[in-house]
Amino acid sequence: MEKIKGYKAFNPDWKCRDFQYELGETYKHDGNVNPCSSGFHFCENPLDVLEYYNNAFNQKYAEVEGSGTVINEGDKTCCSEIKIIKELTFLDLFTAHHNKVFENIDKETETTNTSGNYAHANTSGDEAHANTSGDKSHANTSGNYAHANTSGDKSHANTSGYKAHANTSGNYAHANTSGDEAHANTSGDKSHANTSGDKSHANTSGDKSHANTSGNYAHANTSGDKSHANTSGNYAHANTSGDKSHANTSGDKSHANTSGYKAHANTSGNYAHANTSGYKAHANTSGDEAISCCLGIQGKSRAEKGWIIIVDWRQDNNYNWSIKDVYKGKVGDKIKNMKIRPDYWYWFEDGKLKREKAAD
């Protein structure tokens, strides 16, 4: 029986679609196997799992093994039997993706350029260049100051050297770096930009794209709708400008900023800031002295320990919006005689301060 290695994301309690999983266990599905309907689902490419969860830092990840009846559809695989092999960290996904893409590719020591589909360009020397323009092509460098560039759909650009660059412009493309002060940039829809080095940058402009960093002082920026920007390093920044996008940080003094409609900005570090300016957006912080600032109309703000800032927007008879007042308060304080609690969202609607209990 063929066994397929893959990767799967779970909720923090190791559930997926209300099914409880455990590490090391094997599960069998009785009945038909249909993608998105029945059976067990996973992704063969590690970073594809990020397409299916909004908050990458709150999820559990695992290497899995699928067998039995197996059906592949797009970026997901559905099977009748699955084994949960081992837990993976967020950074492990990047490493696994890099290893999978280049496991059968030999590195070269000089600059290489390709323009054909499925082509590969690889360098291992300092200041070397690897460039491809074909669909599903690969560009890989491991030297300092090296560059890896692709312009084809589903292409990959990966660097591991200091101050290296990885750039893609194709749909479904990936750009990954692990060196200090490295850059990873994508402009294609559903593309990924990932860095793990200090002071590194990850930027995307495509819809549903992802920008992830784990190094200190790193930046993750997206401008596409439903895109994600995630950082785990101290002083890191995560910024999005697309509607329904997400910006998440877990480092102290880091910033998460969104400007899109119904977007989310979340931080978990002390003194960190979560800022949103979009209509009905959310800003959430969990650190001491952190600020949850929601400037948008009917935007919701929540802080577990620190401060919230919310705006009382008013609409006139001509449907024009204007700011009546801006309010701030720390957990335990009161805004308009309402005590600020850590387990509630707060916002203004029609001139009235409202609150709702946050979901567990």
In tens digits, what is the pLDDT along the chain, a chain of 360 residues? Answer: 789 999 999 998 999 988 999 999 999 999 899 988 899 999 998 878 877 765 666 689 999 999 999 998 888 999 999 999 999 987 677 677 766 665 544 444 444 555 556 556 656 666 666 666 666 666 767 666 666 767 766 677 767 666 677 767 776 777 777 777 777 767 777 777 777 777 777 777 777 777 777 777 777 777 777 777 777 777 777 777 777 777 777 777 778 878 777 778 878 777 777 878 888 788 888 877 888 988 889 889 999 888 999 999 999 998 889 999 999 999 999 999 999 999 899 999 999 999 999 876
Handedness of CA 40, 43, 47, 53 (dihedral sign): negative
* 194: Cβ contacts below 8 Å, ≥ 6 apart: 47, 94, 97, 174, 175, 176, 177, 184, 202, 210, 211, 212, 213
CA separation for the pair 209, 185 (Å, rounded): 11
CA separation for the pair 256, 273 (Å, rounded): 6
- In 305-342, which positions are buried (b, 16+ CB within 10 angstroms) versus exposed (e)? ebbbbbbbbeeeeeeeeeeeeebebebeeebeeeebee
Helices (H), the chain: 90-102
AA identity, residue 22 = E
CA separation for the pair 240, 242 (Å, rounded): 6
pTM of the model as a whole: 0.57
What is the distance, to the nearest Å, from the Cα of residue 164 to the centroid of all Cα atoms in its chain? 21
Distances (CA, A) of 284 to 218, 319, 359: 20, 29, 13
